[in-house]
């Protein structure tokens, strides 16, 4: 029997393992974070069948301060002073104190999202192996509002949302292809739930070969462990408004766990990284000219049309 939470599907074994993990209580002398402990092991729904779970963590905001000051204890300074130091470290990109904290996630995600995610090579990753195990019959099918045409101006972006018959046809193709290729995958494996042959007279294809037939919207899972500095780099790219929706939605849920884990660091990150903008020397020169009252247009600005458009977007001007 399966349990559905916010569209996410957990089988009985997964639900039992999560319940057992959350029921266990351990005493420790290590620093813990009550807000993160509250959601530890819990599956946070993402997309239609995916999830993010915090499995383990090390350190907190105080660990960053302690590493920066190379002090012996915790809580020797006031919270305001700790927040000020963390904001200074973030503002001036002093990254090593943030490397003192680590976090481990269990993530269930479509294969095409995983292939984009794995480009961040600064984490330890262990993925579910389709060489040894059989993948579940679960596929990511986008909601209609996320079906968009290719952008005419950005090769990596989306344009207008598809509607009506066009959207319905795309959804039919995605769903039909995923189901058909999985049926063929299962047929080639020739295995039942126990691993025994369904047809005793026919040998099954090796799992490591049969998996090549699956579509990229099939779900996989992995454990993903990283330090706080590299997590912030991941979030600065993938929680950005320009990131692809299917990976951005995971980053946004992870951003919530960041706020629970290291709230002072998260606040500084939102101010100086995710909510900030970087200007080139040429862009900054244009801003200074504007502040001096000089009317500046793109042709005499020294900026390309694309740079000019980006700068105007940052300044909120058309």
pLDDT at 198: 84
pLDDT at 75: 53
Structural domain span for residue 308: 281-315
What is the domain count for the chain?
Answer: 2
pLDDT at 5: 57
> From CA 178, how far away is CA 164, in angstroms rounded?
22
- Over residues 286-302, mean pLDDT: 95
Q: Indicate whether 73 pLDDT > 80.
A: no
Residues 251 and 290 in one domain: no
Burial of 136 (0-12, 13-18, 19+ CB in 10 A): middle
Quick: pLDDT tens for 264-273.
999 999 999 9
Quick: pLDDT tens for 5-52.
555 667 788 888 899 989 988 888 888 999 999 999 999 999 999 999
Q: Where are the beta strands (DSSP E) in the chain?
A: 2-5, 8-11, 44-46, 50-58, 102-110, 124-127, 148-150, 158-161, 219-227
Q: How confident is the model at residue 71 (pLDDT cuts 50, 70, 90)?
A: low
Residues 13 and 99 in one domain: yes
DSSP letter string over 175-242? HHHHHHHHHHHHHHHTB-TTS-BSSTTSPPPPHHHHGGGS-TTBEEEEEEEEEHHHHHHHHHHHSSTT
> From CA 231, how far away is CA 236, in angstroms rounded?
9
- Any domain includes 164: no
Those residues whose C-beta lies under 8 Å from the C-beta of residue 97, and which sit 6 or more positions away, are 64, 65, 67, 68, 89
Quick: pLDDT tens for 216-247.
999 999 999 999 999 999 999 999 998 999 99
Quick: pLDDT tens for 248-259.
999 999 999 999
pLDDT at 6: 54
- Tell me the whole-structure pTM to 2 decimals: 0.89
For the sheet with 50-58, list strands across it. Answer: 44-46, 50-58, 102-110, 219-227, 124-127
Residues 267 and 292 in one domain: no
Residues 308 and 255 in one domain: no
pLDDT at 199: 81
Residues 264 and 298 in one domain: no
Residues 269 and 297 in one domain: no
CATH of the domain at 234: 3.30.1360.170
- Any domain includes 6: yes
pLDDT at 53: 97
pLDDT at 258: 98
Quick: pLDDT tens for 271-285.
999 999 999 999 999
- Over residues 128-156, mean pLDDT: 84
**Taking a C-beta distance cutoff of 8 angstroms, is the pair 213, 184 a contact?**
yes
Mean pLDDT of the chain: 90
How large is the greatest C-alpha to C-alpha distance in the chain, in angstroms? 85
Which residues does the annotation mark as catalytic? 238
């Amino acid at each position: 029997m399966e349990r559905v939470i916010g569209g996410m599907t957990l089988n009985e074994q997964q639900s039992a393992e999560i319940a057992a993990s959350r029921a266990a209580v351990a005493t420790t002398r290590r620093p813990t974070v009550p807000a993160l402990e509250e959601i530890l092991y819990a599956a946070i729904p993402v997309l239609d069948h995916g999830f993010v779970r915090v499995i383990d963590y090390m350190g907190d905001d105080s660990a960053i301060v302690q590493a920066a000051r190379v002090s012996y204890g915790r809580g020797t300074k006031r919270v305001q002073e700790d927040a000020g130091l963390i904001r200074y470290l973030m503002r001036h990109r002093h990254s090593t104190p943030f490397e003192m904290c680590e976090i481990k996630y269990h993530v269930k995600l479509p294969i095409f999202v995983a292939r984009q995610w794995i480009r961040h090579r600064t984490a330890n990753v262990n993925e579910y192996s389709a060489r040894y195990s059989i993948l579940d019959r679960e596929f990511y099918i986008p909601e209609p509002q996320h079906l968009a045409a290719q952008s005419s101006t950005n090769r990596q972006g989306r344009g207008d949302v598809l509607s009506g018959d066009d959207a319905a046809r795309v959804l039919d193709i995605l769903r039909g292809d995923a189901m058909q290729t999985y049926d063929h995958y299962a047929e080639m494996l020739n295995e039942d739930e126990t691993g025994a042959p369904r047809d005793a007279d026919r040998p099954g294809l090796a799992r490591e070969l049969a998996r090549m037939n699956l579509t990229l919207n099939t779900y996989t899972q992995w454990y993903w462990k990283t330090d706080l500095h590299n997590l912030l780099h991941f979030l600065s790219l993938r929680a950005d408004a320009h990131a692809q929706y299917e990976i951005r939605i995971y980053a946004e849920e992870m951003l919530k766990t960041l706020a629970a884990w290291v709230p002072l660091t998260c606040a500084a990150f939102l101010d100086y990284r995710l909510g900030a903008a970087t200007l080139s020397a040429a862009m900054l020169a244009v801003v200074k000219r504007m502040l001096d009252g000089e009317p500046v247009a793109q042709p005499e600005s020294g900026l390309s049309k694309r740079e000019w458009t980006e700068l105007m977007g940052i300044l909120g001007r058309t």
